[in-house]
Amino acid sequence: MMDIPGEIAPEQIVRLEHDAVVVLDQRLLPAERAELRCRSAAEVADAIRTLAVRGAPAIGVAAAYGLALAASTGDDVDAAYATLAASRPTAVNLRWALDEMRPDPTAARARRIHADEVERCRRMGAHAAPLVPERARVLTHCNAGGLATGGYGSAVGAIRAAWEQGRVERVWVDETRPLLQGARLTAFELETLGIPHAVIVDGAAASLMARGEVDVVITGADRIAANGDTANKIGTYGLAVLARHHGIPLVVVAPTSTLDPAAATGAEIPIEERDPAEVSERFPAWNPAFDVTPADLIAAIVTEEGVHTHPFAESLPAPVRAR
């Protein structure tokens, strides 16, 4: 596939150089395109913790590069593993990528994991596009685009594949409080791809649905339990309840590196609680970064292996192993 002018290439999102893991600092987008050089696994962990690099597959890729950097610079690989694994708790891709790297923490293996994640996104997009109705008004939440996966995108990849098939009329972009991944990152990516879109405040989704202006909700995921319960950015559960009320399908698009068969249900998924100051600097606040959508509210989960439907415990595939 040809690069789209202006589209951010995988190696611009995150890459390994001889002395650093270099990430595009997503905290500054879309105003500024600045790179952050992380010269140790601890600095990569900081970049993950502070959301300079974010999104479940992308933090797995960054951690893989961080472990390769530690190995190549002679740092303690076990200590680097522990530091990186502790950087964020919810996205299972982080632990998955580190476990795939541990037996062979080389640059080649990390780059293979990165390339494979992007390839998985392209396959998910191809599987998911036919689920999008003709002339669809799609609503998405947070950012599950190329920035979040290391290239191409999961939910945004599905939207983009559907758009290329002429199925998408427009995308409603939840701004995604409190850190505005939707308003800053998804809107930026859709603009780059030339896909018509409009940002809404999270609280406007109900009214839009009631007006009949949403045909399908498509999101990514940070961790999917064996029964299909899905952790994703806070607010996804609310959207799922709204979608059910209005008879609108919710489709989750995520690679098998996001599956956690060790978690029987969503109750076993750890939910990250971030600094309350991200919500209110003046007043006490509660700031969970994710919520869990019960499987019952999800119409389909799309992985690179295909479209999975109820019962998810039987239809979901096993997580992939790195080559």
Partners of residue 171 on adjacent β-strands: 138, 197
Q: Is 118 in the site for ligand MRU (CB under 6 A)?
A: no
User: Read out DSSP for 252-312?
Assistant: EE--GGGEETT-SSGGGS---B--GGGT-SSS----BSEEEE-GGG-SEEEETTEEE-SSH
CB neighbour list of residue 278: distance below 8 Å, 6 or more residues apart: 178, 179, 285, 287
Q: Is 181 in the site for ligand MRU (CB under 6 A)?
A: yes
Evaluated on CA atoms 103, 55, 121, 225, the torsion sign reads positive
The region of 4-12, 49-57, 123-131, 291-299 touching ligand MRU under the rule CB under 6 A is: 49-57
Q: Please enumerate, by residue number, every residue annotated as part of a binding site for substrate.
A: 54-56, 88, 181, 232-233
Q: How far is the CB of 120 from ligand MRU (least distance, A)?
A: 11
For the question of residue 19 being annotated catalytic, the response is no
Q: Is 221 in the site for ligand MRU (CB under 6 A)?
A: yes
Q: Is 218 in the site for ligand MRU (CB under 6 A)?
A: no
Q: Which one-letter amino acid corresponds to residue 29?
A: L
Would you say 105 or 184 has its CB closer to ligand MRU?
184
CB 129 within 8 A of CB 161: yes
Q: How far is the CB of 291 from ligand MRU (least distance, A)?
A: 10
Choosing from 222, 229, 260, 291, the catalytic residue is 222
The vertex-190 CA angle with 306 and 35, nearest 5°, equals 100
Q: How far is the CB of 56 from ligand MRU (least distance, A)?
A: 4
Which stretches of the chain bind ligand MRU, using CB under 6 A?
Answer: 54-57, 91, 142, 144, 148-149, 154, 181, 220-222, 232-233, 289
Enumerate the active-site residues: 222
